[in-house]
Structure formats: C-alpha cells, structure tokens
Amino acid sequence: MNTFYFIAFLSIFFSLLVIFAKNPVHSVLYLIITFFTFTIHYVILNAQFLAIVNFIVYMGAILVLFLFVMMMLNLNKESEPNKSNLIKIVGVIGGGCLMVTLVAAVKGLAKSQPVVLQNPDLGSVQNLGKVLFGEFLLPFEVSSILLLSAMVGAVLLATKDPKQPKTV
C-alpha cells in the first residue's frame, strides 16, 4: 500500500510539473513520466493489458509525436500572440470550476470505502483474450478487416499516379 501512495505522489508531482513548466518540451517530457507512473498504477491494480496499452500507445506513440511536433514548431516568447482579457477571464472561470469539482471529489473520497475485487484475475491479459477470442470473435475479425482495408486505401491514396502530369 505504501508503494501505491508513493507512485500516486509521483503522479501528482509530475502532473503539476507538466502544468507549470515554462518550456513546452520539458512539459511533454514530464507528461511521459506521468504516464509511466500511470502504467505502474495499472500493474499494481492487476490490469496488465491497460498497462501495456498505456505504455505502447500513449508513451510510445502519442507523446513522442507531441515531442517531435513541439520541437519542429520552435516555440519561443517572440512568436507567442497576446491573449485578450476575455480569454483570461474564461480561463479563470474554467479553473474555478475545476477547483470546485476537485474539492467535491475529495470530500466524496473521504466517505467512500476502498473497492475490493471479487476476482483477482479480472484485469489479466489471459481473461481478456478468452473473452475477445471467444464471445467477441466475429466483431474482432470484422474490425481487423476494416482496419486492413483502411490501411490499403490510405496507401493507394498516398501513391502518385505515374501517368498524371507533374504540377509546379
């Protein structure tokens, strides 16, 4: 249980660093660390599939894409546009609404009891595979055929026709 609280503290700490970092590249790097702490939480909660998906999809693909886009944009203070007072007021109102929601959630959390899973193998990859390839085999195969046809269509749309004249 102490490990859970330590990883929760790290999650909150690095998510605050994401918000308050001045450099956007540092912010994305802190976001990668934050998602890594979420992966550790999933492993602690016996949800191996969510941990693997979080690690591969979010940390491996989306955040690396964010990092490359931020590096390519070359963001600096001189190119940043001035924000109007209306946008600042809307930001303060949105932040206030978030604060009210967080306070209400923390008050509700103090009254609740921890959830104990009846089946400890509930989040395992083995059980997910049994359900996915048993009960949901047909929708799984249909979705794989749809993804394959979308990939072939994207490749066909991306290739140039050699008979078409070149445009300058």
Q: Give the residue among 119, 113, 109, 112 at the shortest CA–CA distance from 46.
A: 119
For residue 29, being part of any structural domain is answered with: yes
What is the rounded CA–CA span in Å between residue 49 and residue 42?
8
Once rounded to an integer, what is the mean pLDDT over residues 148-153? 88
Domain ranges, residue 6: 1-75
Residue 72's pLDDT band (cuts 50, 70, 90): confident
pLDDT band at 99 (very low <50, low <70, confident <90, very high): very high
Q: Around Cβ 134, how many Cβ atoms within 10 Å? A: 8
Is position 6 within any domain?
yes
Residue type, 157: L
Q: How far apart are CA 11 and CA 29, in angstroms?
A: 13
Q: Is residue 113 part of a domain?
A: no
* pLDDT bucket at 105, cuts 50 / 70 / 90: confident
Q: What average pLDDT does this structure show over 92-117?
A: 83
- pLDDT, one tens digit per residue, over 125-135 is 788 788 888 88
Q: What is the pLDDT of residue 85?
A: 87
Q: What is the mean pLDDT of the chain?
A: 82
Give residue 63's pLDDT: 75
The per-residue pLDDT for 165 is 65
The reply to whether 12 falls in a domain is yes
**CATH number reported for the structural domain that contains residue 34 in this entry:** 1.20.120.1200
Cβ-contact 29, 2 below 8 angstroms = no
In 3-state terms, what secondary structure has residue 81? coil
Q: Is 119 domain-assigned?
A: no
For the cut 70, the answer to whether the pLDDT of residue 62 exceeds it is yes
Average pLDDT over residues 74-79: 63
In the chain, % of residues over pLDDT 90: 19
In this prediction, residue 79 carries a pLDDT of 62
Look at the pTM and tell me if it is higher than 0.75.
Answer: no
Instruction: Determine the pLDDT at residue 123.
Output: 66
Residue 67: inside a domain, yes or no? yes
Q: What DSSP designation does 163 have?
A: T
Q: Please state the domain count of the chain.
A: 1
pLDDT of residue 96: 94
Lowest mean pLDDT among 40-49, 57-66, 134-143: 57-66
Mean pLDDT of 29-53: 88
